[in-house]
């Protein structure tokens, strides 16, 4: 096995302070966000429901994965993006604002490099 030299990762945790939409609309919005960020979806999204309004949608992407989960008791939507392709925090923020038509978000970015 070859030696790992350097791999850059980009990880984002985004909180949207709006009531979560129903699963069918969320799936459409997640697909729109993936397209807007120029990520490559692999296969179909995987949806897990927890009661009436709580759910998680997992989508594998060629660059890693994206997950959308809802916390309807607050109301809150969380989107997690992990990518080995470069993503800029401001681009992610603006894409989410446009896709979900909201200004009420917080974003936490954690770029890091694996090096050995």
Predicted confidence (pLDDT) per residue in 38-79, tens digit: 999 999 999 999 876 789 999 999 989 999 999 888 889 999
Whether residue 3 is contained in a domain is answered as no
77 assigned to some structural domain: yes
Angle at 60 between CA 31 and CA 15, to 5 degrees: 60
Spatial distance between the Cα atoms of 34 and 60, rounded to a whole number of angstroms: 10
For residues 59 and 66, the answer to whether their CB atoms sit within 8 Å is yes
Q: Residue 21 belongs to what domain range?
A: 14-115
- Our count of domains for the chain comes to 1
Q: Is 39 inside any structural domain?
A: yes
**Residue 94, pLDDT score:** 95
With respect to residue 48, please indicate whether it lies within any of the assigned structural domains: yes
Asked whether residue 4 is domain-assigned, the answer is: no
Tokens for 100?
């979900």
Of residues 98 and 7, the one with the higher pLDDT is 98
Q: Tell me what pLDDT residue 47 has.
A: 93
**Helix, strand, or coil here: 21?**
coil
**In a domain? residue 81:** yes
**CATH at 47:** 3.60.90.10
- Average pLDDT of the chain is 89
* Contacts for 89 with CB less than 8 Å, ≥ 6 apart: 12, 107, 109
Mean pLDDT to the nearest integer, 84-113:
91
Phi, psi of 84 (to 5 degrees): -95, -5
């Amino acid at each position: 096995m070859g030696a790992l030299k350097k791999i850059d990762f980009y990880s984002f945790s985004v909180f949207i302070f709006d009531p979560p939409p129903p699963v069918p609309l969320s799936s459409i919005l997640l697909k729109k966000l993936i397209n807007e960020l120029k990520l490559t979806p692999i296969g179909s999204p995987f949806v897990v429901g927890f009661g009436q309004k709580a759910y998680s949608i997992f989508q594998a992407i060629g660059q890693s994965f994206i997950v959308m989960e809802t916390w309807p008791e607050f109301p809150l939507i969380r989107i997690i993006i992990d990518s080995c392709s470069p993503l800029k925090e401001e681009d992610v923020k603006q894409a989410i604002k446009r896709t979900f038509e909201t200004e009420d978000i917080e974003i936490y970015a954690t770029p890091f490099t694996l090096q050995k």
